[in-house]
A = this chain, B = another copy of it.
């Protein structure tokens, strides 16, 4: 599937120049798990002393690799770590066989890299319910370890793509205690996007040092403001995994440093928004800003109700300023709202207030606004100080085309 689709019109101009992160090396290879003629396995190996944090899908039907990673997160960081990811097959709902695949891969990676098996993390993304032909991956392990290189992060980003139309990367640099620290991450994701914890596959690396437990807290907190604020189609993957590795190679401890947290937030938000920009069939990137809700939690419920409404998303696809559907989505969300206190803006255009269309509203202004590729829809609930911002895309014919025959 990947490669067959035209690149999303919302894609960035190109893959960003990522800084080399000291203490981690990457490699990618063609294992032929499912796709032909492209890379489909990536390996990352981190030096001893690396702290590893991770957040994962809350799905009750989590994949075997996710369960294995969850059991391992939080372990000692003095022996290095490794991450192996394949695309084309999710190794999800594959019963006992799925667990055997994970065990076989972890054992082989441990043996090939010298990293203890308890510090080898894996992920698989692609079709659910088919056995993972892990022998094909094991057969490429020597190639992978032989190719490990500090600068091969873009190759890793390409190897984990499924229906993605472009590889996703982001980076930031920040000075901490007089030392330069780099953060760089990659992500994949395009459909089945409605994170309930982390979403999709995301791997972020930094050469800062960071206390293991504090890193886990920071990652969870920032995930709630980034990856948990995006949705393409309201469907939540069985495989969502987000890992953050702090190698310490820059020789500075960033634990608790606000500048580091801010830079990391920027990288995570950029990657999350890139996933939306590659939403299956997307032609519009939409920011939904809800303010004035009874609480932040209520604001997010309203925002996600708007962002997930098929009628709102198809209206956006049709460039129709159908704000009545925004009213509908607020009304059905289940969070507190008062019809007569709502204020709705499309960009700078005041559309509705006090329970009805604004007297100054002219549909032709809104229609012109809707032709843009980047849209902001702002709703003030008029009840309190709760706020949330989420990001989504439109729902188009191409989404149907991609998903009505993904496996065919």
From B98, B329, B354, give the contact of A235 (CB < 8 A): B329
Interface string of A281-322 (1 = CB under 8 A from B): 000000000000000000000000000111100110110101
* Chain A residues with a Cβ closer than 8 Å to the other chain, count: 71
On whether the beta carbons of B233 and A311 are closer than 8 Å, the reply is: yes
**Residue contact A331 to B399, C-beta cutoff 8 Å:** no
Q: Is the CB of A60 within 8 A of B236?
A: no
Q: With a CB–CB cut-off of 8 A, which chain B residues contact A336? A: 60
CB contact under 8 A between A405 and B318, given known A233-B310, A311-B192: yes
> Which of B191, B330, B342 meets A311, CB within 8 Å?
B191
**CB-CB nearest in chain B for A232:** B310
Q: Does A269 contact B (CB under 8 A)?
A: no
In the assembled complex, how far is the CB of residue A201 from the closest CB belonging to chain B, in whole angstroms?
16
- Which of A92, A95, A354, A396 counts the most chain B CB atoms within 10 A? A95
**A61 and B327 form a contact (CB under 8 A):** yes
Residues on B with C-beta less than 8 A from A90 are 324
A62 within 8 A of B: yes
- Pick 24 A–B contacts, CB within 8 A, sort by A: A60-B330, A61-B331, A61-B339, A62-B331, A93-B324, A95-B340, A96-B355, A130-B324, A192-B311, A234-B308, A235-B310, A235-B328, A235-B329, A236-B331, A237-B328, A310-B310, A310-B399, A310-B403, A314-B403, A317-B400, A318-B404, A320-B406, A322-B407, A396-B404
The 5 closest A-B pairs by CB, nearest first: A128-B324, A318-B404, A61-B331, A95-B356, A59-B331
Interface residues of A (CB under 8 A from B): 57, 59-62, 90, 92-98, 127-130, 191-192, 194, 196, 233-238, 308-311, 314-315, 317-318, 320, 322-325, 327-333, 335-340, 342, 352, 354-357, 395-397, 399-401, 403-408
